[in-house]
Chains A and B, each alone.
Chain A
Amino acid sequence: MKIHYYPGCTLKQKTTALDVSTREAMKQLDVELVEPEGWSCCGAEYPLTEEKIVGLAAPIRVLRQVQEEGGDVLVTTCSFCFAVLKRADKAIKDDPLKHKRINAYLRDDIKINPLTKERKTDFEEYKGEVRVLHLLEFLRDRVGYPRIRERLKRDLKSLPVAPYYGCRMLRPQKEMAVDNPDSPHLFEEYLEAVGCAAVDYPFKQECCGSYISVSLPAAATEASYRVLRSARMNGAKAVAVTCPLCFYNLDHRQDAIKEAFLDFQGIPIVFFTQLLAWALGVDKALLGLGEHSVPADGLFSEKSSPEVRP
C-alpha cells in the first residue's frame, strides 16, 4: 500500500522520533509513505476569523500537491497539523467562496526545483477531494487491527499506557469528526491492538498548556502537571502522545513541573508510533529515544517486552 504522508516541519527537525518511528512501523506493515513533493509548513494554526482566509493557502497548497500526485488520502501523525489540514479542507468544501479565493491565491504559486532550478507555474485547482486522516484512523480503517496483531513481534505484556489525546485531534467535534470528545475510544483501541493496556483517566483530553507554556509558563505547568498526575494516579506507566507540542510540554518540561509541584512524580512520555514500531520488531536504535528528556528506555527492553516471533 502506498499512501501520502505529511510529517510537518517539527518532525523533520526537533521531533524526528515521531517521524522515524512512524516510517519504521509502516515499513513493517508494508505501507509505503510518500511525502508530497516540495511540501511546506501547514501554518500550525487554522485561522479562526472569517477574514484571515490567506491562512488557508498553506495547508491547501499541501493538499493540492497530493491531488497533483494522484493521491486521494493524506495521512499525518502530528495532531496539530492534522487539525489545520482537515479544517482547511473542510472550509474549502463547505464554502464555495473560500474555495474560489484560495485557488485564486494559489494560482500565483511558483515552484522552483532546488536542483534543476526548473520553474513550475501551471497548477491545477484544488478540487477538495483529498481526505485527511490521522494515522490512528488510518491504522484502524485502512490497515486494520487484525493485520497489526498478526505482525506483532514483541509482546508488550499489557503495559499500562495512558492515551493522551490533547485538544486538536478531537475538537471542534463538528469539524474534526474523529470521535466523541468526552468519551473517545480510538486511541484506546489502538493501544489494545498493539499489546498495551489502555488506562482510563479523566484528563486524557484536557489541554496540556499548548503554546502558553512559552508566553505564561506557570499556567501551562499546572495544566501539564494535572494531566500527568491523573495518568499516574490511575496506574499508567507511560503516557502516549500524538503531538510534538504535547511531547514538549509533558516531557521536556517535567523539570519545571517538579520545581512548581513538589509532590510530582515523573513518568515517561512516548509517541504512539514508538510503541507500534517496537511491537512490530523495529530496532531500539531507530525509535528516536535520544530525544526524550525523561528516559523512556526502560519501556523498550527485551525484558519488558519479550520477542514472541522471530
Chain B
Amino acid sequence: MTDKPIKKEKRIGLFVCHCGVNIAGIVDVERVAKELQDYPGVSFSTNYIYMCSDPGQQMVIDTIKEKHLDGIIVAACSPTLHEKTFQEAARLAGLNPYQIEIANIREQDSWVHTDKERATKKAVKIVKSHVAKARLNENLEPIKVDVNRRALIIGGGISGLQAAMDIADHGYEVILVEKNPSIGGKMIQLSETFPTLDCSQCILTPKMVEVSRHPRIKLLTYHEVDSISGFVGNFKVRIKKKPRYVEEKLCNLCGECEKVCPQVVSDEFNMGLAFRKAIYMPFPQAIPGTYTLDAENCLGLNPVRCGKCKDVCDKKAIDYDMKETIVEEEVGAVVVATGYDLYTMQALGEYGGEKYEDVVNGLEFERILSASGPTGGAIRRPSDGKVPGSIVFVQCSGSRDTEHHLPYCSKICCMYTAKHAMMYRHRVPDGQATVFYIDVRTGGKSFDEFYQRTVEEDKVLYIRGKVSKIFKEGDTLIVWGVDTLTGKKVEIEADMVVLAMAMVKADGVQDLLKKLKISTDIHGFVAEAHPKLRPVESLNAGFYLAGCAHGPKDIPETVAQASAAAAKVGDLFAQKELSHEPTVVPVNDELCSGCGICITMCPYNARTLDPDRGVAVVNEILCEGCGACAAACPSGAAQQRNQTDNQIFSMLRAMLRE
C-alpha cells in the first residue's frame, strides 16, 4: 500500500430548483435531491420552489455558512440567466464564486422532454456530472487590468461627432479620426432633414464647431486608422496622416490658390454634378477651415510641374514636401462610426444603370435641392438644366429584393422620398410628382403626419407598384409601373427620375474592419453583441458602434445610438480597473512543444508563439475561454481553468456509469 496524500474531500451542497412547474412539472425534483444525498462529495441536498428568489438565495448563503460548504450546485435553468446571481450569493457567504456549478435541468431537460421517468433519470445524471466537476474546481480570482481612459472615434459624421462630444463632456479625452479633409459625413451633404425640414448644415455645423473647439477632443482629419493592437482598455492605434500639402494653421481661406489651379476635377461632395479644382475646400463650412491639395489630381508634385498655387499663397501655407506620417495613440475604447454609402445604380440595368444623366439617386437630388449646391437650390435636371415638369420617385431601388440585390429595407427612403417630393412641389408648383412604392414606412415620431402632408397638402401622387423599367425616348424618360390598387399598368413620361437607392456598407471600410477583426454581418454592417439587449457594443470587447455603420437608420436614431455608445464607453471608463473572467486557458510550459496549433485556432488573437522559449503564450485578457485551443492541443498543455480535460472526463464517467 503506498502512501498517497489524501486530498480533503470537498463538502458540496446541492440545491434543486422547481422553477414553479417549468422543471417540477416534468422532473421529479424531490427524487433528484434525494438520490444525490449520498453521492460522493455531496454533503447537503435539498429542493426549493424558486432558487433565484430572495429566500432561495438567502438559503444558499445561510447553508454555505452553516454547513461549511466549499462548493455548491444549483440544478435549475441555463447558466446564462442566473450564474452571476449565485456567484454573487456565494461571494456574500465567503465562498469563492468559481466554486459554483449550474446544472441545467430546464433548457436541457424539462423543457425538451415529455417522459417524466426518463427526464428525471436524465436530471440525476446531469447533476452527478456537475458534482464530479465541482469536486475538482479550484478557487479563481478575476483578472484585473488597467483602463486607459481615452477613446478613439473612427468617423467624423453625425454619429462620430455626437459620440465624441458626449464622451468628452464626461471628462475623458477623445481622438476623432476622419479620412476626408473635413468632418460632417453624409449629413452635411443633405439639404433639409425630415420631419422638421431643418436645414441640415444649420443644425450640424454648430456641432462641428463644438467638436473642433472642445478642449478634450483631438480632431484628426485627413487621417486614416491603419491598425489597432492590444485589448480592451489598452489599445495601441496606428494612424496614417495623409499629406494635405497645405499647413492648416497658416491657411486663411483667401482662395487665390483655387483661382489659379488649372486642374478641374469632378466634385465628389456634389456627387459629380459640379467641378472643383485639385486644390480645394470640400464645402464652405468645412472643418478644419483649410484648403487641401488632392495629389492624385494635381499635375505633379514630384517633380513640381505647375506650382501656381504656391506662388500666389501669401501666407506661405503650401508645402509640396509634406509626406505621409504615422501618428501613434493609446486608447481604452474604440467607437466605430464609419457611416454608409448608397448602392450603385449600375446594378439596376433595367432602370438604365448609369446610362441616363437624369436618373439620379437620393444624395444627388439633395445636392440639387441644396442652396449651396451646383444649382443654388433651383431644381434643374443634370442633362440640360431644364426645370423638370414631372419627376418620378422610385422607392425600394435595390432594397427588399432577395433575388437580385439586397434583401433588407433601407429604412430612411420612404421618409426622404416624401421630403424630396414635397420640396419639389414647393419649388416647382406646376410640377407633377409621382412616387412609386410598395409600402410606406414612416414609424418615427411625427413621421406619418409628415408623409400625410405630402399626399394631402402637396398633392403628390403615390402609386402602389414597383417600377419594371425606365428608358429614354428622345428627350423624355419613360417609366413603366403598375397601380396594384386599381389593377392598371401605367406608363409615365418624366423629365427626371429619383431612385431611392439602398443603403449599403461604407465603401473602402471593409478592409479596415477586417484588419481590426471587427465582426460584421453578411451585408458588411458591423455586428452588434445582441440585436435587442446590446445594440451599441460589438462582440469584440472595447469596440462600440454607432450610426449607419451598424445598419440603415435615420438621424434621430443615429444620435440616440451615438449617445448610447458614449454611455457604454463611460461604463467602461468608470471602472477603477477592468475585471476579466478567469476561466481562461493558460499554457503549461512543460508540456507545450511549440507546435502552434492553438495559435491558429484562437478567434480572439489571444495566443502567440514565444520565439525564444519555443512555447505558446496566452494573453489572458484577450482570452474568452472558448476552449478551441484546449480541444486542439495535442499534448494537453492547454487546459482551461475549471474545465480541464480531467474534469470533462470525470463528468462523462459520472453520466455514463450505470
Interface of A toward B, CB cutoff 8 Å: 180, 182-183, 202, 230, 233
Name B471's closest neighbour in chain A (CB-CB): A202
Within 8 A of A (CB), among B330-357: 348-350, 353
Name B348's closest neighbour in chain A (CB-CB): A182
CB pair B473–A233 under 8 Å, yes or no, is yes
- 4 closest pairs, A vs B, by CB? A202-B471, A182-B349, A183-B349, A182-B350
Contacts A182-B348, A202-B478, A233-B474 supplied; 11 other A-B pairs, CB < 8 Å: A180-B349, A182-B349, A182-B350, A183-B349, A183-B353, A202-B469, A202-B471, A202-B472, A202-B473, A230-B473, A233-B473
In the bound assembly, the distance between CA atoms of A182 and B347 in angstroms comes to: 10
Whole-angstrom distance between the Cβ of B222 and the nearest chain A Cβ: 37
Question: Which residues on the A side are within 8 Å of B348 (C-beta)?
Answer: 182
Question: Which residues on the A side are within 8 Å of B473 (C-beta)?
Answer: 202, 230, 233
Name B478's closest neighbour in chain A (CB-CB): A202
Whole-angstrom distance between the Cβ of A199 and the nearest chain B Cβ: 14
Whole-angstrom distance between the Cβ of A206 and the nearest chain B Cβ: 8
Question: Which residues on the A side are within 8 Å of B474 (C-beta)?
Answer: 233
In the bound assembly, the distance between CA atoms of A1 and B353 in angstroms comes to: 39
Question: Which residues on the A side are within 8 Å of B353 (C-beta)?
Answer: 183
**How many of chain B's residues have a CB under 8 angstroms from any CB in A?**
10
Question: Which residues on the A side are within 8 Å of B471 (C-beta)?
Answer: 202
Question: Which residues on the B side are within 8 Å of A180 (C-beta)?
Answer: 349
Provide 14 A-B residue pairs closer than 8 Å at the C-beta atoms, listed in order of the A residue. A180-B349, A182-B348, A182-B349, A182-B350, A183-B349, A183-B353, A202-B469, A202-B471, A202-B472, A202-B473, A202-B478, A230-B473, A233-B473, A233-B474
In the bound assembly, the distance between CA atoms of A261 and B462 in angstroms comes to: 32
In the bound assembly, the distance between CA atoms of A202 and B472 in angstroms comes to: 8
Within 8 A of A (CB), among B432-489: 469, 471-474, 478
Name A202's closest neighbour in chain B (CB-CB): B471
Whole-angstrom distance between the Cβ of B352 and the nearest chain A Cβ: 8
Name A230's closest neighbour in chain B (CB-CB): B473
Whole-angstrom distance between the Cβ of B467 and the nearest chain A Cβ: 13
In the bound assembly, the distance between CA atoms of A230 and B478 in angstroms comes to: 12
In the bound assembly, the distance between CA atoms of A230 and B472 in angstroms comes to: 10
In the bound assembly, the distance between CA atoms of A183 and B351 in angstroms comes to: 10
Name B350's closest neighbour in chain A (CB-CB): A182
In the bound assembly, the distance between CA atoms of A230 and B469 in angstroms comes to: 15
Whole-angstrom distance between the Cβ of A178 and the nearest chain B Cβ: 15
Q: Which of B471, B474, B478 has the most CB of A within 10 A?
A: B471
Question: Which residues on the B side are within 8 Å of A233 (C-beta)?
Answer: 473-474
Whole-angstrom distance between the Cβ of A80 and the nearest chain B Cβ: 23
In the bound assembly, the distance between CA atoms of A233 and B478 in angstroms comes to: 14
Whole-angstrom distance between the Cβ of B264 and the nearest chain A Cβ: 29
Whole-angstrom distance between the Cβ of B141 and the nearest chain A Cβ: 59
Question: Which residues on the B side are within 8 Å of A230 (C-beta)?
Answer: 473
Question: Which residues on the A side are within 8 Å of B478 (C-beta)?
Answer: 202
Name A229's closest neighbour in chain B (CB-CB): B473
In the bound assembly, the distance between CA atoms of A182 and B354 in angstroms comes to: 13
Whole-angstrom distance between the Cβ of A223 and the nearest chain B Cβ: 13
In the bound assembly, the distance between CA atoms of A230 and B471 in angstroms comes to: 11
Question: Which residues on the B side are within 8 Å of A182 (C-beta)?
Answer: 348-350
Whole-angstrom distance between the Cβ of B535 and the nearest chain A Cβ: 37
In the bound assembly, the distance between CA atoms of A233 and B472 in angstroms comes to: 11
In the bound assembly, the distance between CA atoms of A233 and B476 in angstroms comes to: 13
Question: Which residues on the B side are within 8 Å of A202 (C-beta)?
Answer: 469, 471-473, 478
In the bound assembly, the distance between CA atoms of A299 and B623 in angstroms comes to: 77
In the bound assembly, the distance between CA atoms of A183 and B469 in angstroms comes to: 12
In the bound assembly, the distance between CA atoms of A183 and B353 in angstroms comes to: 8
Whole-angstrom distance between the Cβ of A219 and the nearest chain B Cβ: 12
Whole-angstrom distance between the Cβ of B306 and the nearest chain A Cβ: 40
Whole-angstrom distance between the Cβ of B468 and the nearest chain A Cβ: 10
Question: Which residues on the A side are within 8 Å of B469 (C-beta)?
Answer: 202
**Interface mask (B568-599 → A, CB under 8 Å = 1, otherwise 0):** 00000000000000000000000000000000
In the bound assembly, the distance between CA atoms of A230 and B348 in angstroms comes to: 21
Whole-angstrom distance between the Cβ of B156 and the nearest chain A Cβ: 37
In the bound assembly, the distance between CA atoms of A230 and B474 in angstroms comes to: 10
Whole-angstrom distance between the Cβ of A266 and the nearest chain B Cβ: 20
Q: Which of B348, B350, B478 has the most CB of A within 10 A?
A: B350
Question: Which residues on the A side are within 8 Å of B350 (C-beta)?
Answer: 182
Within 8 A of A (CB), among B265-285: none
In the bound assembly, the distance between CA atoms of A183 and B473 in angstroms comes to: 17
Question: Which residues on the A side are within 8 Å of B349 (C-beta)?
Answer: 180, 182-183
Question: Which residues on the A side are within 8 Å of B472 (C-beta)?
Answer: 202
